[in-house]
Amino acid sequence: MRRPDFARTPTFYSVLAVACALALCTLVLFGLVYKQTTAYVISKYDVLLVEELRIFASNSPDQLLQEINDRLLKDPQHIKIAGLFGADGSRIAGNLDLLPPGLTPDVPTNAVVIRLDGGERNAQNVRVAARALPSGRSLVIGRQIDEITEIAKVVMRALSLGLLPAFILTVFIAMFLSKRIFVRVTELNQKIQHVVTSDLRERLPTSGRGDTFDQIAVSVNQMLGDIESLVREIAAVGDNIAHDLRTPLTRVRVRLERGRARAASLDELRTVVDQAIGGLDQSLAIVTALLRIAEIEHSRRLEGFSQVPLGPLVREIWDLYEPIAEDKGVALRVNSADETTVHGDRDLLFEAVANLVDNAIKFTPEGGNVDLTLLSREIGTVVQVRDTGPGITEIERESVTKRFYRSDKSRRTEGLGLGLSLVAAIVKLHGFQFVITAGPGCTVEIICPQMH
């Protein structure tokens, strides 16, 4: 069964719980008042009863009978009780049928008795005190305590007059508050649903009161803003991928088409096919590089990390790239005096630094230098690659590490434009920093903060 709207918010139950707690407290309070009042009343009675008992007992036996009869006659409302019983328990005078059992001399107690006067021979709650007389008889003095029941009734009436309406009122307030919150939550929810399903550009409305709901709306709006820009970014990346894949694929298509129409010999056709395969390989390399970046960016496996000595690593990279630099007329120099280790994945770090060196060699014109240096700074170990190439402008710096970006200058040089994105992903995975500094040429640094 579906619960009603008002019963579907935590507010309703909170208010209800508070109301219950209040009711419980009130009950305890009233109970205490009742207990204290009756105890006070009874103690007053007791003082009187003991006093009366003392006075009655001081009379001679004849006077006593007279006094008992007087006491009962002067009490038309049948409040008072008096009784004189023989040593064998038989009634001698008074309005009591039997000597109440279990009485302690001079100590007032509650008893249930049957009265002889007052018409009704019903059992009645009374307070009595008794004393054994020197003659062996027992004297009982007492009074009925219906007032106590009256007090209880008054207390109950006060309780029902005060507590019940208050409780009912609270329930209504709970329902009202709950309903109001429910309406706003539902409204927010519908808006969010709408944004999610149809239009990411829409935002949640705020009431302007600056309340919690407005705060939530503001937070959600911020989140939506972030999501929207991410989606845009992804779309842009998608466009870039499409562009970078389309270019080689279009070339392949054109070549194949022309080859099919124009190739006069098998050899000519083979040349065309070879070129087409080259183009396809280029496209596949782009896909591979993209997958690789995604793999690194989403990698949460850090258990493969170990202490990697950076000195041998940079020297090995130098060893690998030195002939390539030499072929291009670029001097690749390595300076790895600093023998430190960092916590990381050796293969990935190798790939990152190799990429930086690869890039530097690629962008440095003949006669230039590329320096691969291992530095020790206060913040930690730094792998620095500095070249004398065209450099990177301020604006380009940020975009350079984004997927597929290639600054216009570099578009002339071959490459997939993914190298630096890959480096950025690897560096981020390690918790290192990647800094590109413009200047004469370009300086890129991987800063590996010391582990504590």
Residues contributing to the site for other proteins (CB under 8 A)? 274, 277, 281, 284-285, 288, 291-292, 295, 301, 319-321, 323-324, 327, 347, 350-351, 354-355, 358, 361-362, 414-416, 419
DSSP 8-state code for residue 298: T
Q: Which of 10, 4, 21 is nearest to 174 (CA)?
A: 10
129 or 360, CB closer to other proteins? 360
Look at the block and give the residue holding tokens 């206060």: 378
81 or 272, CB closer to other proteins? 272
51 or 319, CB closer to other proteins? 319
Closest contact distance (angstroms) between CB of 177 and other proteins is 54
15 or 354, CB closer to other proteins? 354
Q: Whole-angstrom distance between the N-terminal and C-terminal Cα of the chain?
A: 58
148 or 325, CB closer to other proteins? 325
32 or 294, CB closer to other proteins? 294
The answer for residues whose C-beta is within 8 angstroms of residue 61's C-beta and 6 or more apart is 133, 135, 137
Could you give phi then psi for residue 234, rounded to 5 degrees?
-60, -45
Report the C-alpha gap between 424 and 434 in whole angstroms: 7
Report the C-alpha gap between 146 and 162 in whole angstroms: 24
> Which residues in 378-440 belong to E strands, given as ranges?
380-387, 433-439
Closest contact distance (angstroms) between CB of 358 and other proteins is 6
Report the C-alpha gap between 167 and 23 in whole angstroms: 7
Closest contact distance (angstroms) between CB of 313 and other proteins is 12
The answer for residues whose C-beta is within 8 angstroms of residue 446's C-beta and 6 or more apart is 352, 353, 356, 382, 383, 423, 427, 432, 433, 434
Look at the block and give the residue holding tokens 């992804």: 234
382 or 385, CB closer to other proteins? 385
Closest contact distance (angstroms) between CB of 420 and other proteins is 11
Closest contact distance (angstroms) between CB of 351 and other proteins is 5
Alpha helices in 10-114 (DSSP H): 10-57, 61-73
Closest contact distance (angstroms) between CB of 357 and other proteins is 10
Look at the block and give the residue holding tokens 């001081």: 58
Closest contact distance (angstroms) between CB of 8 and other proteins is 46
